[in-house]
Every structure is written in C-alpha cells, then in structure tokens.
Structure 1
Amino acid sequence: MDLELRHLKIVRAVAEAGSVTKAATQLGLAQPSLTAQLKRIERTLGGALFERDRNGARPTPLGELVLTRARVLLPAVRELQEDAVRFANTYEGIPGFRIGATHGPILGGLVERLTVAHPNTPVSTRTSWSSRELTTMVSAGRLDFALIGTCGDAPPPAADIMTWSVVGADPVFVLLRKDHPMAGEKELELSDLADEAWAVAPGDGCFADCFAGTCARAGFVPKTMYETDVGTCLHLVKVGKAVALCQATFELTAELVMMPIAGAPLRWRHLLGWHSDSIAARAAPSLAHHAREAYADAIGRSSRYTDWLVANPEYGAVP
C-alpha cells in the first residue's frame, strides 16, 4: 500500500483526539474500520504509530516522526490547492494587474472595466508624474503595465525592452475661465493668449520644449509658467491668474471652458506599455482593449472634443 494524504490525516486525527474511538467519531467512520486502516498504515510505515490502552492513544517515537512531517505536508498541500484554485480563476494565470499611470483620462475607467471583467484578479495602481519612473518599475517587475503619455511623435522610454501600444491621440486644448474674453470663440490662435500666464502639470518628456517652440513660432515667449499639480492649475484658471494646457478629454467644471487651438499645434499620445518578456504580456491584448474602451468613454464625456473630432477624425481612439 502506498502512503496517501488521507492516511496522514488519519494519523493526525488520532493524535489530536487522543484515542481511536474519538478520532473515528470526528472522521465519521466506524471505530473498527478506523482501527483496520490504522493497522494498514502502520504496516506500510514499518512499525506502531501509537501506544494504545484504555486511557487512549499516545504517539510512539515513530508516530512523532510521522506527525511532525504530516503537520508540514498537510497545510502545504491545502495551500497548494488554494493557490491552484486562485490561479485557475485569474486571467491568463496572472496573479494581479499592477498598473502605473501618469495623469490622464484612462486609469479610472480601466480599473472599472478590469474589476468587472476579471473579478477574481486583483488590481492595484500607482501614479507618478514621471513616465520614466513607471517604465523602470515595469522593467524591474514591480509593475505589470504603464499608462503614460508622450508629446507628439516622441518615442516612449525603454523601447528596447518594452512593448508599447498606442491607445489614442489627443490635441492639447486650453482651459479658460468661463468669462474670459476668448471663451465664446470656436477656436483660438495661440498668439491670442500671448499676454497670459500659463499653468501646466509636470512631466519628464519633451512637452515643455515643444510648447516653448510652438509659442516662439506664434511670435511670443510665455511670460509666466506655473508647473504644478492639477488642482493648483485649475485654481489658478478659476481665479483668473492663468490659462492652462489640458488634454482634450478633460472633464469640465461649471467655471471653465475648454478651447481648441487653431491647427492643433500640440499633440499628446496615450500609450500602454509592458515588459516584452513578462508573464503579464499574455494579458496585454485584453488590457489594451479595455484601455481603448475607457479612453473612448472619456472622449464621450467631452462634448467639445466630440464635436471637434467630427472635423478632425485623425485624432481620438486607435482601433
């Protein structure tokens, strides 16, 4: 007879109950049946496992050895079973989606979609202003995916080890106060804002240089640039101390107006990236699909952008 896990469970039950009779009751077996099974186990292992008398059953030295191993093996097997069930119920065998993102319109909708589509696969997030930091974390295995933005056609970081998929491309618009003199226009020339202070969220790409170059071609140099968090950017616009650069998917508040810039001189691409050789790469096509759906939802929430796209279909979601 080969030793099986059920035999170890019997030995453990007898030791914990202190008698064969009590162990049989707990296991739902007849006492003679359990006694017979215990004898077969002892023959397989080469000796008595318990000293039995009218006071109960006490492990022999051989019994103590078997119990020591059983107390390690049985929990380990149970943990293996639980892990296997969790693995079988995760998407593509991935233990979880660890997603890093810079500021953008996609992350919230992506998390919402993933938790609905794959409820047994945990999702965690991390945000940073630095696309390089997030890419480094993906390369090191600390994140599975990175949602970042790049200015125009600028290449994403670490293209040698990362795979990047374009989710969508937006023009850069301008946020104005609702009572700003230009707020009623269909679009504006960048030079119309030459005397304004500007607010922009930070980043580590080439956007600041591209904006400066675009302003120079429009005939002016921005007199003041506030590089700060999104909340502060919005506050400065609301109190009339600045205008702000924004993605065209920005969700407006009642105090603000979003204005297209004539000719769309500034462009922003949304990218989803993953390490080319990672386990997470298996789920990349599905994740990219969900990211594009979340991005399309963000476009749909911006009526100004939706109207603008009718005449500029080269922007927006990538099929």
Structure 2
Amino acid sequence: MDLELRHLRIVRAVADAGSVSKAASLLGLAQPALTAQLKRIERVLGGALFERDRHGARPTRLGELVLSRARVLLPAAQELQEEAVRFAASPSSPAYRIGATNGPILGGLVHRLAAERAVRTYTSWSAYELTGMVDLGRLDYVLTGACGDSGTPSGSVVWETIGLDPVFCLVGADHPAAAEKEVELADLADEHWAVTPGDGCFADCFAMACARAGFTPGTIYETDVATCIHLAQVGRAVVLCQATHQAAQGLVTVPLAGAPLRWRQLLGRHPTAPDSAWVVAQAKQVHDDAVRRNPVYSDWLVRNPGYGTAP
C-alpha cells in the first residue's frame, strides 16, 4: 500500500480529535474500521504514530514528523484542486454531474435525468474520492452507500438516505444454500468469499458478523463485479451482494437469516446542486423499481418490514 492524501487526513483527524473514537465519529467511520486503517498506515510509515491509552491518543515522535508534513501537504493539495476546478470548469454546467460507486441506482437515475438534460457520470470504488469531488464542486451528486450503523462523512455535502437494504449472498444454482429461503451465516463458515472493493467499514463489519456467528471468514477475494459473478458460477466463492442485485443465469440470491449485514443507499449533493428535491425523488423511485424487480427481495420484505426504499 502506498501512502495517500486520505491517509494523511486520517492521521490529522486523530491528532485534532485527540482520540480514535472521536475521529471515527467525525469521519463517519466505525471505530474498528478507523483503527484498522490507522494500523495499516503505521505499517507503511514504519512505526506507531500515536500513543493510545484511556486518556486518548497522543502523537509519537514519528507521528509529530508525519503531522508536520501533513499540515503542509493537505492544504497545498486542497488549494491545487480548487484552483484546477476553477480553471477547468465552466461557470455553470448544463449537465447533471453524478459520481457513483457500485450500486443499483445509477443506470436508472441516468435514464430518468437524461430525459430532462444531459448527464455526465464518473465512477470510482472510493466513496471518499467522490465525496471530495462533490465538496469541491466538481460533481453535483454522488451515489454511494455505507454500512447500516455508520455515519456519513463530515463536510459541506448534504446527504439523503435513499434506501436501507440487507446484504444477501450470491451462490451457484447447485450450491446447497440455493434451495433455501434463507441461510444462516454460520452455515457458510467453510466458504471462500468474494466482494467488490470499497473504502468504508464493510470488511470490518463482515468480520464482526462472522465472529458473532462463531467463525473467522476464510479467503476473501476483493475484485470487480464480473469476477465476483464468475467465482460464484464456478463454485469458488460465495458473493456478498446488495439485496437489489439481479442474479445472472446459473446463480441464486439467498438472504442471510437475521440480516447480520445492512447497507444504506445514499445520495450526497453539493449545496448548490440543481433540482435537488426532484433528483432525490427520482433516486428513490429508481431504488423502489430495483426492489420490485427482485422477487427474492420483495418476498423477504414481506417478512421483514423496515427495510427498502426510504419514505
């Protein structure tokens, strides 16, 4: 892993907040996820950046060195981005500019919005990158998601919850779980897993859900959607997927009993984004359409109210 600006932002946030827990709240992350990220950053930099005890987190000598550089580099990078945006962007864009991570909404939303005006899209696995682009005015909207109980990043971006979905699993049609109405997570303890990448706390939340079910997950393949589907089709892995996912031929979507993992579909917008109320309404309608197209999810919702498209 190479050191990135977002890593320096994490180090600065912990130092400014005085504790990992406070920094996690400000960054909209679960504390275990932030702790895990901080440990990875410390491994890259060669040592501990903070001394942590019940009183909080204090920078080590190495931490002070990193912080001194971060407090120069981060404002300089921010200034560079803002200057580049002002130089490259037109005063008023005739198009809706939308960024998105992997999810069920983008295609349908583009179809609806394009009937009114042009749409420009930008995709990334990093919600932090896209949120930063909205914050800087390079995008009007960002479609992303977050674990059910995590917060949203701080900043100028205005967030709307579009829907709350359970996480299901995707298996081959000949997998033993394919014939079940739902499957216990513990019954999949011996499986390999596949999931699309992201920079939130989902990996840590999955590990904790497995721990509560009494096991440690085996191999986890973090890869693109097409590879996840292939691994499920050949029986190499069980795929963790959003409940709205439409299973390809030879695959079956199976709910996890008790919904141990939840995913919030989010729409973030710049404070000056055009037609915001209408765009939010369109996003919710697209999500509702995705729910209705999936008979497994629709059937599951009858037994599990409280999920689905936000009112």
Q: Same fold (TM over 0.5)?
A: yes
Matching residue of 1:145: 141
Find the structure with the greater CA-based Rg: 1
Q: What is the one-letter code of the residue matched to 2:98?
A: I
- The answer to whether the 8 A contact 2:139-2:270 is kept is no
**2:247 paired with 1:252:** yes
Tell me the CA shift for residue 275 of structure 1.
2.0
Q: Secondary structure at the match of 2:133?
A: helix
Q: Aligned-residue CA RMSD in angstroms?
A: 1.1
Matching residue of 2:8: none
For 2:149 and 2:276, how far apart are their aligned partners in 1?
A: 22
Q: Secondary structure at the match of 2:159?
A: strand
- The answer to whether the 8 A contact 2:162-2:287 is kept is yes
**2:178 paired with 1:183:** yes
**Matching of residues 69-148 of structure 1 within 5 Å:** 95-116=94-115, 118=116, 121-148=117-144
Matching residue of 2:201: 206
For structure 1, the residue ranges without an aligned partner over 5 or more in a row are 1-92
For 1:179 and 1:127, how far apart are their aligned partners in 2?
A: 34
- The answer to whether the 8 A contact 2:172-2:252 is kept is yes
Q: Secondary structure at the match of 2:178?
A: coil
Matching residue of 2:63: none
Matching residue of 1:43: none
- The answer to whether the 8 A contact 2:135-2:155 is kept is no
Query: So what's the TM-score if we normalise by structure 1?
Result: 0.68
**Structure 1 residue corresponding to 2:210, chosen from 192, 197, 215:** 215
For 1:257 and 1:179, how far apart are their aligned partners in 2?
A: 9
Tell me the CA shift for residue 274 of structure 1.
1.1
What per-residue deviation string (whole Å, max 9, x for no partner) do you get for residues 220-265 of structure 1? 1111110011111110010010000000000111200111111001
**Matching of residues 272-287 of structure 1 within 5 Å:** 272-276=267-271, 278=272, 280=273, 282-287=274-279
Alignment length, in residue pairs?
220
For 1:102 and 1:231, how far apart are their aligned partners in 2?
A: 15
Tell me the CA shift for residue 94 of structure 1.
6.2
For 1:225 and 1:232, how far apart are their aligned partners in 2?
A: 13
Query: So what's the TM-score if we normalise by structure 2?
Result: 0.69
For 2:155 and 2:100, how far apart are their aligned partners in 1?
A: 20
**2:308 paired with 1:313:** no
Tell me the CA shift for residue 311 of structure 1.
1.2
Q: Which runs of 4+ in 1 moved over 3 A?
A: none
For structure 2, the residue ranges without an aligned partner over 5 or more in a row are 1-91
What per-residue deviation string (whole Å, max 9, x for no partner) do you get for residues 64-88 of structure 1? xxxxxxxxxxxxxxxxxxxxxxxxx
For 1:275 and 1:155, how far apart are their aligned partners in 2?
A: 18
Tell me the CA shift for residue 156 of structure 1.
1.8
For 1:303 and 1:186, how far apart are their aligned partners in 2?
A: 12
- The answer to whether the 8 A contact 2:99-2:121 is kept is yes
Q: Secondary structure at the match of 1:147?
A: strand
Matching residue of 1:226: 221
For 2:106 and 2:149, how far apart are their aligned partners in 1?
A: 22
Matching residue of 1:166: 161
Q: Kindly, what percent of the aligned residue pairs are identical?
A: 58
For 1:224 and 1:160, how far apart are their aligned partners in 2?
A: 36
For 2:98 and 2:206, how far apart are their aligned partners in 1?
A: 29
Matching residue of 2:192: 197
For 1:183 and 1:284, how far apart are their aligned partners in 2?
A: 41
**Structure 1 residue corresponding to 2:152, chosen from 132, 153, 156:** 156
What per-residue deviation string (whole Å, max 9, x for no partner) do you get for residues 45-99 of structure 1? xxxxxxxxxxxxxxxxxxxxxxxxxxxxxxxxxxxxxxxxxxxxxxxx8621000
Matching residue of 1:32: none
Tell me the CA shift for residue 160 of structure 1.
3.1
**2:274 paired with 1:295:** no
